[in-house]
């Protein structure tokens, strides 16, 4: 999460600077004109400082307000102290005090407000004293305090509004970034899903085609009937691969509502199709046996995951351990874990150079984790390979019995 900036004030455009400086200059000119009338009523001869020095200091203070955001406390202190000897600086002093208040830092703002009241009283009583009138002496303190309080209140209100606008903008930008992040994550998950489906569906068929095609390349002792049978097996598996590829593409192009449901879309396999998968492996020349002790129906997602794990185990045994003995064991029941164990012995003959993507076991691990299970795999002590998955199998409820 990005941190908040030091100031929520947006950068000012030239026009925004211009009208603020013009307003400060106008207030300063009005204050100078008022003080001139007060001094003229006392003495017709106006002090040279009032005619030259006071306006000059006022112009310098108005110029200094251009740096009030970069050095807020320093500029406010300099301009406020300068306003003690220059009534023309009153407009600039009001501007820097209001700007300081927009920061909504109470200690520095309150301190500068007290200094502003004190300098105003010094100006009225020592530098440019006014004629005594019927008003009590404390009236000047009340009026100055009210004016300074109003300036500070305006600054606080402007600062609060800026903070609110910045907060809303920051939340909108954060929400937009999070939306982009979610979209990117969704695209990544969809790519992984497509990769898993493509691998699980095609790897099995293509490995059969590659194995038989490789056998035709170096087996010169095959009879015409054996060659024809091998070619038929290659053609059948190639057609099945194309058919399953079309089916997977149809599933991946399903509507969003269908994609969000937990029910696997047809023609997704289940554990009931495992016997057919083993028969196909045997017909391809593999020595495969199966042991399935389950009697109840599995949840659809777990059944599909179990089938894909067994399918990948058989595919890996065909590719990397030709001639090996393979045992597929399915065990478990409702309320217990479902165990899917595919183990093969060491290879009995050299294998074919069938390329490996390296994503099969990774995809199976993701599948198992998605349903709340685990997957372990690796070579055993006898030179074989074992693939073992533990998948959850919820207990049957009363309505399920």
Q: What is the CATH number of the domain that holds 317?
A: 3.30.565.10
Three-state SS for 274-323 is: HHHHHHHHHHCCCEEEEEECCCCCCCHHHHHHHHHHHHHHHHHHHHHCCC
Domain membership flag for residue 140: no
The answer to whether 203 touches 315, Cβ cutoff 8 Å, is: yes
Domain membership flag for residue 170: no
Output the CA angle 267-269-273, nearest 5 degrees: 125
- Which among 98, 133, 168 is the end of a domain? 133
Domain membership flag for residue 55: yes
Residues 128 and 195 in one domain: no
Q: Which of 7-21, 201-215, 345-359 has the lowest mean pLDDT?
A: 345-359
Domain membership flag for residue 338: yes
3-state secondary structure of 11: coil
Q: Which residue has the higher pLDDT, 133 or 147?
A: 147
pLDDT digits (tens, 9 = 90+) for 239-298: 777 777 776 666 556 544 444 444 444 456 777 788 888 888 887 778 899 998 887 778
**Total number of domains in the chain:** 2
Q: Is the dihedral of CA 185, 356, 235, 270 positive or negative?
A: negative
Domain membership flag for residue 157: no
Domain membership flag for residue 217: yes
Domain membership flag for residue 285: yes
pTM for the predicted model, two decimal places: 0.48
Q: Which of 118-127, 135-144, 196-205 has the lowest mean pLDDT?
A: 196-205
Domain that holds residue 90: 14-133
* % of the chain surpassing 90 pLDDT: 21
pLDDT of residue 79: 93
3-state secondary structure of 192: helix
pLDDT digits (tens, 9 = 90+) for 76-105: 999 999 999 899 999 999 999 999 999 888
pLDDT of residue 349: 73
The answer to whether 319 touches 159, Cβ cutoff 8 Å, is: no
């Amino acid at each position: 999460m990005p941190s908040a900036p030091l100031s929520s004030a947006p950068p000012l455009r030239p026009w925004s600077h211009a009208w603020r400086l013009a307003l400060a200059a106008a207030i300063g000119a009005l204050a100078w004109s008022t003080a001139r009338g007060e001094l003229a009523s006392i003495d017709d001869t106006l002090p040279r400082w009032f005619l030259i020095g006071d306006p000059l200091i006022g112009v310098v203070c108005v110029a200094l307000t251009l740096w009030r955001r970069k050095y807020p406390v320093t500029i406010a202190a300099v301009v406020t102290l300068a306003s003690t000897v220059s009534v023309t600086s009153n407009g600039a002093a009001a501007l820097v005090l209001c700007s300081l208040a927009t920061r909504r830092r109470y200690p520095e703002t309150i301190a500068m407000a007290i200094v502003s009241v004190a300098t105003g009283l010094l100006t009225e009583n020592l530098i440019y004293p006014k004629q005594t009138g019927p008003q009590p002496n404390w009236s000047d303190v009340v009026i100055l305090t009210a004016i300074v309080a109003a300036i500070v209140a305006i600054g606080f209100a402007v600062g609060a509004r800026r903070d609110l606008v910045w907060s809303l903008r920051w939340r909108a930008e954060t929400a937009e970034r999070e939306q982009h992040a979610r979209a990117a994550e969704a695209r990544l998950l969809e790519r992984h899903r497509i990769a898993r489906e493509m691998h699980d569906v095609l790897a099995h068929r293509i490995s059969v085609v590659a194995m038989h095609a490789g056998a035709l390349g170096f087996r010169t002792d095959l009879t015409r009937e054996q060659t024809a049978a091998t070619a038929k097996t290659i053609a059948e598996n190639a057609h099945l691969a194309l058919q399953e590829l079309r089916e997977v593409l149809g599933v991946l192009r399903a509507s969003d509502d269908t994609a969000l449901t937990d029910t696997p879309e047809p023609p997704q396999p289940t554990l009931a199709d495992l016997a057919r998968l083993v028969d196909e492996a045997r017909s391809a020349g593999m020595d495969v046996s199966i042991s399935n002790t389950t009697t109840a129906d599995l949840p659809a997602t777990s059944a599909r995951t179990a089938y894909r794990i067994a399918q990948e185990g058989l595919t890996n045994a065909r590719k990397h351990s030709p001639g090996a003995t393979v045992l597929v064991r399915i065990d478990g029941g409702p309320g217990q874990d479902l165990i899917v164990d595919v183990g093969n012995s060491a290879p009995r003959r050299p294998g074919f150079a069938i390329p490996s993507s390296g994503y099969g076991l990774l995809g199976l691990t993701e599948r198992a984790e998605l349903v709340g299970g685990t997957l372990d795999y690796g070579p055993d002590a006898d030179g074989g390979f074992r693939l073992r998955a533990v998948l959850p199998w919820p207990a049957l409820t009363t309505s399920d019995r």
